[in-house]
Amino acid sequence: MRASSAEAAAAKAARLSSTVPATRAGSGTPQCAVIGCPGHTGHSSPAASSPRISRERERTDGAHRGSIIAITKVPRAEAGRYGIVRTRRGEGRVWELADVVEKPTVEEAPSDLGVLGRYVLSPRIFDQLEHTPQGAGGEIQLTDAIRALVAEQPVFGYQFEGLRYDAGTRLGWLEATVSMALDSDLADEFRTFLRGLDLRH
């Protein structure tokens, strides 16, 4: 597939569902996507997990040759807010994926492992996106393209553990914003501001 065609597919997906803000760097170059959606994660900041995923991708690529995405345990009652994976087998925190379903019902969810918006994917994802129809919410879903990718080449899930903020909710977004502010170069000034607030109401 021509690069321009692949980039058009990625742009179409990003425009409709804000799923793939990346362009194809080369036919053999893994693509990294960091997405602010339900399951936004981090340690000291929401982006802190990305280097971990990239390093884990390098390790699994050497051992297994496959893409890798971040996953974590989520409450089953909240399955409809995540892409949910079904696993084949695992070693440590790394699981080979058998399937992934975007926003299933509680009854249809294949597990309690949700996708967290951190991906390092084979360039084949662009070919899959080009042929992915609209899915959940009437949008082109990256999860659906990954599901097709699973059917033709290995895709692994790295089970993330640590501090996590759900930026898909208003409260989670505010929590993440405050946490990041307290870990920034404005932390002292922001603490002064917080101490001056009247929190009695």
| pLDDT one-digit tens code per residue, 90-149 | 888 899 999 999 999 999 999 999 998 889 999 999 999 999 998 878 888 899 999 999
**What is the rounded CA–CA span in Å between residue 22 and residue 67?**
15
Tally Cβ neighbours within 10 Å of residue 181: 15
Domain boundaries, the chain: 3-168, 169-201
Specify whether the CB–CB gap between 23 and 147 falls below 8 A.
Answer: no
Which stretches in the chain have pLDDT values below 50? 1-23, 25, 38-48
User: Which pLDDT does position 179 carry in this prediction?
Assistant: 93
**In this structure, what are the phi and psi dihedrals at residue 99, rounded to the nearest 5 degrees?**
-170, 160
**What is the rounded CA–CA span in Å between residue 171 and residue 86?**
29
3 state SS for the chain: CCHHHHHHHHHHHHHHHCCCCCCCCCCCCCEEEECCCCCCECCCCCCCHHHHHHHHHHHHHHHCCCEEEEEEECCHHHHHHCEEEEEEEEECCEEEEEEEEECCCCCCCCCCEEEEEEEEECCHHHHHHHCCCCCHHHCCCHHHHHHHHHCCCCEEEEECCCCECCCCCHHHHHHHHHHHHCCCCCHHHHHHHHHCCCCCC
**What is the rounded CA–CA span in Å between residue 44 and residue 134?**
35
User: Which pLDDT does position 28 carry in this prediction?
Assistant: 64
User: Which pLDDT does position 11 carry in this prediction?
Assistant: 43
Taking the alpha carbons at both ends of the chain, their separation in whole angstroms is 59
**What is the rounded CA–CA span in Å between residue 181 and residue 178?**
5
User: Which pLDDT does position 65 carry in this prediction?
Assistant: 67
CATH class of domain segment(s) 3-168? alpha beta
Q: What is the distance of C-alpha 159 from the center of its chain? A: 12
- In the block, residue with structure tokens 């967290």: 116
